[in-house]
Amino acid sequence: MSLDASLRARAAKVIPGGMYGHLNAALHGDRYPQFFVRAEGARQWDADGREYVDLMCSWGPMIVGHRNPRVEAAAAAQQGEGDCLNGPGPVMVELAELLVDLIPSADWAMFSKNGTDATTQALMVARAATGRTKALVAHGAYHGADPWCTPGMSGVTPNQRADTIEFTYNDLAGAEAAAAQADGDVAAILVTPFKHDSFEDQEPADAEFARGCGRWPTVSARPWSSTTCAPGGGWTCAARGSRSACAPT
């Protein structure tokens, strides 16, 4: 048994479902690693020592790479002052001022610890500004882990389901139909061009890619993936050993 598989088995005993949210690698197949142990620059290593090019930038925040010296130095300096205080430090105001100054369309800035919080805050602002309640969300796309984000998940109330209407991404007629269903009560439309629930709704090329490489397709991932390829699907391993990639046959 691989170390990753062993960790998954241990996690299943002490964490509900073994893992939660978009970090649950079970959604991506057995070949997709769940646990990582270190990173440097553009690369990451999983618990079994396999090396990957982090094309996902750790789901977004690592835009200058892992363990960037300037970022590490700034973080260490702040930690020397205190890492978790009873209120934010002056750096929050400084960063907000910088963002507003750099982004012409930004009049103010808010900070969140994850995408779920950011999307939920955006929806709250949209509802407050419009006085409307309904949110249109792309079916199968990941919008967050809160109950309103995924109408079909357990623990969601009927009212939360009623306020969230799904449509098919990149289908204008479907989006218009969802808006019509809301009957003028649309506060926000959320889209993520990333399928999360099944291969069947993918375009044929994407479905073959996903089956062949054992991961979910994204625009940045085609036609290469840093995961290990599974046989078939029109894709094959372009390299072997600790660095493997998928390429079309």
Under the banding of pLDDT at 50, 70 and 90, the label for residue 148 is confident
Two tokens at 21? 């949210």
- Please tell me the predicted confidence (pLDDT) of residue 115: 83
- Whole-angstrom Cα distance, residue 23 to residue 35? 10
Question: pTM for the whole thing?
Answer: 0.64
Q: 3-class SS at 45?
A: strand
- Please tell me the predicted confidence (pLDDT) of residue 201: 38
**Phi-psi sector, 233: left (phi>0), alpha (psi -120 to 50), beta:** left
Question: What number is the average pLDDT over the span 27-37?
Answer: 86
* DSSP labels, 52-67: EE-TTTTTTT-TT-BT
- Whole-angstrom Cα distance, residue 79 to residue 98? 21
Question: 141: closest CA among 182, 178, 190?
Answer: 190
Measured between its terminal Cα atoms, the distance across the chain in Å is 30
- Please tell me the predicted confidence (pLDDT) of residue 152: 66
Two tokens at 32? 């997709």
- Please tell me the predicted confidence (pLDDT) of residue 197: 45
Residue whose entry in the numeric block shows the structure tokens 């939660």: 20
- Please tell me the predicted confidence (pLDDT) of residue 195: 52
Top pLDDT among 237 and 147 is at 147
Question: 44: closest CA among 60, 56, 27?
Answer: 56
Q: Which amino acid is at 245?
A: A
Please tell me the least confidently modeled range out of 56-70, 102-116, 174-188, 210-224.
Answer: 210-224
- pLDDT by residue (tens digit) across 179-204? 999 999 999 999 876 554 433 333 33
Please tell me the least confidently modeled range out of 1-5, 135-139, 213-217.
Answer: 213-217
* Residue 13 pLDDT greater than 80, yes or no: yes
* DSSP labels, 156-182: --HHHHHTEEEE-TT-HHHHHHHHHHH
Q: Are 133 and 126 contacting, i.e. CB atoms less than 8 angstroms apart?
A: no
